[in-house]
């Protein structure tokens, strides 16, 4: 997968901003959900749809079911926030948040949505705040998907060039692990580049 159109400087800034955003997310989760964990340094790639498929296949095991929450965000910089959590992790999350031995399907779904809310709000908001822009969040939707075929055929048609920002989230005490993908397409790559250029100017002014 080639790093199209983005210079090393752009990628460095984006990595740095993502690190800040991830730190922010970890702190928020600890504060709001009383779950203490860590986020891995995000990987940032620019790919096409086939590359994304390949990437997801290598990142997500295909032998279990996953709750996949998709949340769109819009603005000058828009895209899709994808949170993938295994069924087992989601059950542990439901158990932790609802404090019951057997959380219902609704409890689990709500817990996944809640965690996604916090992750997307902190990560994307922090990222866009750093880039001096604002985004609007749309209602997330969650599906339980068998295997790792996370992107539907109709979504395949929507994306051409994609920025993949992927990180792993671990809450070892609660046995909760998840993967985050931030996907944006085509023209958003230019928007993000413009925002990063502005940030670079600010930093070196």
* Residues lying near another protein in the complex (CB under 8 A): 28, 31-33, 97-99, 104-106, 109-110, 112-114, 117-118, 121-122, 125, 137, 139-142
| Shortest distance (Å) from residue 16 CB to another protein | 22
| Shortest distance (Å) from residue 52 CB to another protein | 23
| Shortest distance (Å) from residue 116 CB to another protein | 9
Cβ nearer to another protein, comparing 33 with 44: 33
CA 72 to CA 201: how far, in whole Å? 29
A 10 A CB-CB count for 58 gives 9
| Shortest distance (Å) from residue 204 CB to another protein | 30
Cβ nearer to another protein, comparing 76 with 138: 138
| Shortest distance (Å) from residue 97 CB to another protein | 7
Cβ nearer to another protein, comparing 11 with 98: 98
DSSP the chain: ----S--HHHHHHHHHHHHHHHHHHHHHHHHHH----EEPPPEEEEEEHHHHHHHHHHHS-SSSEEEEEEEEEEESS-EEEEEEEEHHHHHHHHHHHH--SS--HHHHHHHHHHHHHHHHHHHHHHHHHHTT--EEEPPPEEEEEETT--S-HHHHHH-SEEEEEEEEEEEGGGTEEEEEEEEEETHHHHHHHHHHHHHHHHHH-
Cβ nearer to another protein, comparing 64 with 104: 104
Cβ nearer to another protein, comparing 115 with 165: 115
């Amino acid at each position: 997968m080639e790093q199209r159109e983005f210079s090393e400087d752009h990628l460095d800034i984006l990595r740095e901003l993502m690190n800040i955003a991830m730190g922010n997310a970890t702190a928020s989760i600890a504060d709001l959900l009383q779950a203490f964990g860590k986020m891995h340094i995000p990987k940032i790639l620019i790919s096409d749809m086939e590359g994304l498929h390949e990437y997801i296949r290598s990142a997500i095991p295909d032998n279990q079911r996953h709750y996949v929450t998709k949340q769109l965000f819009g603005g000058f910089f828009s895209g899709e926030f994808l949170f993938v959590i295994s069924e087992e992790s989601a059950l542990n999350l439901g158990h932790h948040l609802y404090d019951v031995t057997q959380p219902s399907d609704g409890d689990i779904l709500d817990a996944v949505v809640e965690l996604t809310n916090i992750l997307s709000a902190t990560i994307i908001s922090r990222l866009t705040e750093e880039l001096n822009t604002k985004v609007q969040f749309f209602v997330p939707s969650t599906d339980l998907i068998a295997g790792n075929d996370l992107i539907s055929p109709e979504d395949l048609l929507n994306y051409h060039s994609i920025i993949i920002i992927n990180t792993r989230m671990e809450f070892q005490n609660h046995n909760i692990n998840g993967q985050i993908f931030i996907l944006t397409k085509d023209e958003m790559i230019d928007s993000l580049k413009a925002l990063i250029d502005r940030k670079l100017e600010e930093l070196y002014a």
